[in-house]
Structure formats: structure tokens, C-alpha cells
Structure 1
Amino acid sequence: MPTVYGLRTSGNCYKVQLLLDLLGRPYRWVDTDSAAGATRTPAFLALNPNGKVPLLVLEDGRRLAESNAILCYLAEGSPYVPADPWERARTLQWLFFEQYSHEPCIAVARFVRRWLSPTDARQAEVPALLERGARALDVMEDHLARELFFSGGVFGIADIALFAYTHCAADGGFDLSRWPQIGAWLERVRAQAGFSPMAA
């Protein structure tokens, strides 16, 4: 079975866990605490020179990093990635949006507020992160006023990617009641057969 190196409380790692659970695929999870330096050891850097999780290691030893690349690989041939080229491109559009417009502010605000000291200098970043994150959530809200999901109109890997940090955005100071369409979408994701929650 494949092995996943990951931190259970990381949204990027949770994406991989959630997809594997939805697929019903067995896997081995190796807890890898990046905050404690576990991704900077010589042994881990030999697996992923970029020193980050999640990392997928296949049975034959091939390795794949970057959460959304892992989603694309694992979902291939499943209902979670569209076969139609246009709908697949729309799915990729949301995966890129998640990494460039969503995660850098929503996930970072969560990290600063949840794991850093209230006196840490990085707390000063939070107001700007909240402003940029709100803009990303506005884009999602607008889309969800027209479609139920982000993966070509049906539930799929773009929804998994966006759900990972959106569902816990309150940890970073976002009041999700401002975005009712997102709230309804979060419940639709949780209602998927095989859904598994992120570790607290």
C-alpha cells in the first residue's frame, strides 16, 4: 500500500487523507511533525529534498510531493477528477487558485493565530492576511451562487483542496457566517460518503 508522510493537523496533508478515505484505499500514514524538525532530517530530505509534507511514497519507491499534485495522481480514473478536458481544466484552475490565492492567506492566518505566541512579531501580518483571505472567500462565494461544487460542477479534488483550509478558517480569525454559500458547500462536502474529518 502507499505510504503518506504527513502532519495530521495540516490542511495540505489532510487533503491526501481525505481523498484516500473517500476512495476507500488502504494506506500507511507516517506522522511527520514539520514544526518539530522532522522534515529537515537527513532521512526525510533523502525522500523529499524540499523538506515538506505531505509526501506520497508508492509501493515501488516512487515519490510525489505537493498536495495538489498528489490529489491529481490519486484521483486519476475516479469520479473525483473530470474526464472532460474543459471540466478538468476548470478543476485545475481551482487547484491553482487554492495554492496561490487561498492557502497563502487563510492557512497562514491559521498558523500564526493557532501556533505562534500572541506576542510573536508575525501577529502583525494577520490583518492583511484576513483582508486577502476575505477576497479569496468572496471569489468562492460568487462561484457557489451558481454551482454546487468546484470540480466541473460535481464534487471532486478541487473541492477537497479548498475544503481543507476553508473548513477551519475560523482558526485564523475568519467569520464564515459572512459567506453563506460557502457554509452550505462545507456541509455538502461533509455529507460525501467516506468523508473523514481532520485531526483537531
Structure 2
Amino acid sequence: MTDYRLHCLGASGNSYKVALYLNCAGLDWEPVGVDFGGGETRTETWRASLNAMGEVPVLETAGRLMSQSGAILLWLAETTGHFAPAADQRFEALRWLLFDNHKFTNNYAMHRVQNCFTADPDAAVLAFLRARVESSFSIAERHLADHRFVLGERPTIVDFSLAGYVFYPASETGFDIAAEYPAIDVWRGRIAALPGWKPPYDMMPVGTSPPLRKA
């Protein structure tokens, strides 16, 4: 059995954050598919056995089950040493992780769900979410214009956290990052150049997501 088992699905950017970390860190891991599209995470059995919060990812290792991608990344950095922030960067790392979970990833992921997984999206809801994405992305764009990685010259768990959804196709997300956010795109390229990088669906060819909305 592998050291780490990640309960996930290819369409989950929060799962991808952890999967990308594990792969780039060279750790022994495997993806375990979750039938999210079929409602598996909403069942009492799944919640009782894996995660009462009903969310992916869930990292299984040494008899432990851990959820919430930001917390998992912190734990992995502290226990393995890979991509850990320097001691004097801990506050800044937490600041960006919380910003990512509350705004950067949150807004982008919600827009993506409405844009490609919702059968009949409300135009006003999409416009509201797009404005929120533009606000949070503009903050990251300004920061990354003069930073190689979020905390400086080397990648840390913060980069893996923010990278969760930026590699999904524009047809899903509704945003052309290369055209609209050049600094984020350059940073995204640096992440993609790391040994072990793969795009989300290749990294996690498991599980099922809700069906994509037909154009």
C-alpha cells in the first residue's frame, strides 16, 4: 500500500492542490476515486467513514484521515519538510492560504460550477461571481508581477494552494488567464515547470463529477 491515499476526483481543484503537492514532492501516493457526481459524499456512510464535512479531498495516511486542503498542505509541509515556508514566513503563508480559501479559489471555483456544471445558470449570479473573481485575481496579479512565487524565490505550499483551479480549461472556468492575467499566467508556467507537474485530469484520472453543461 502507498504511504498516502488521496480520496479525490479529477474535477476537484481542492483535491488537485494536494495531489500536485504530493507528486511534486516525490511522495508515494495514489488517487482514490470518489463518485461525487453520483452523490457519494452526501451519503451518511461516506461522511461517517471518511469526512463528516462531506467534502474532498480526504488524505489517508498511517491510519489517519485528514480533510481541508489548506490544513492538509500545512501538515504535509510540517511533517515532510517539502515546500515548507521558512520559519519567518509562517504568518505570511497563513495569510495567503486564508486569502486563497476565502477569496481566490473560492470565487473562481464557484464561478466555474455555475459556468460549466449548472444546467441553467443565472446571468446575474455569473456576473456577480465574475466580479468577485476579478477582484481577488487582481490582487494576486499585482503581487505576482514582482514575485517569482507567492512567498519569494522558491515554491511553497502557498503556491500549490493558489494553483488548485488555474489549470482547468477556459471552457470550464470562463476565464482566459493567459490573456487576462499575464503575471498569474507566468507564475502558472513556473508551477507547470516543476518536476512532477501534471494537469488535473491527468493527475487524478479517477472519480466522477457532475456532467458538464451542454453549450
TM-score (norm 2): 0.84
8 A contact 1:81–1:157 mirrored in 2 = yes
Q: Within 2, Cα distance between the matches of 1:120 and 1:155?
A: 36
Aligned residues: 196
Question: Tell me, what secondary structure is at the counterpart of 1:14?
Answer: helix
SS of the equivalent of 2:131 reads helix
Query: 2:165 and 2:118 mapped to 1: Cα distance?
Result: 18
1:112 match: 114
Gaps of 5+ in 2: 203-215
Give the alignment partner of residue 59 of structure 2, picking from 51, 56, 60.
56
**Secondary structure in 2 aligned to 1:48?**
coil
Aligned equivalent of 2:148: 148
Judge conservation of contact 1:110–1:172 (CA < 8 Å) in 2. Answer: yes
Task: Look up the match of 1:136.
Answer: 136
- Conservation of the 8 A alpha-carbon contact between 2:112 and 2:174: yes
Q: Could you tell me how far 1:169 is from its partner in structure 2?
A: 7.0
Shift, 1:28, TM fit: 3.0
Give the superposition deviation at 1:109: 0.8
Q: CA deviation at 1:156?
A: 1.3
Q: Secondary structure at the match of 2:201?
A: coil
How much has 1:152 moved relative to structure 2? 4.5
Q: Larger RCO: Structure 1 or Structure 2 (Cα < 8 Å, ≥ 6 residues apart)? A: 2
Does the residue aligned with 1:166 lie in a helix, a strand or coil?
Answer: coil
Q: Which runs of 5+ in 1 are unaligned?
A: none
Which stretch of structure 1 is more off in the superposition, 91-100 or 27-36?
27-36
| Alpha-carbon shift at residue 73 of structure 1 (Å) | 1.1
Report percent identity of matched pairs: 33
Mapping of residues 2-151 of structure 1, within 5 Å: 2-46=4-48, 47-59=50-62, 61-76=63-78, 77-84=80-87, 86-117=88-119, 119-121=120-122, 123-151=123-151
AA aligned to 1:66 is: Q
RMSD: 1.7
- 3-state SS of paired residue (2:31): strand
CA contact (8 A) 2:85 2:157 kept: no
Matched, 1:173 2:174: yes
Specify the code of the residue in structure 2 equivalent to 1:80: F
What stretches of structure 1 move > 3 A for 4+ residues in a row?
none
Q: Give the number of the structure whose residues are more often helix, by fraction.
A: 1
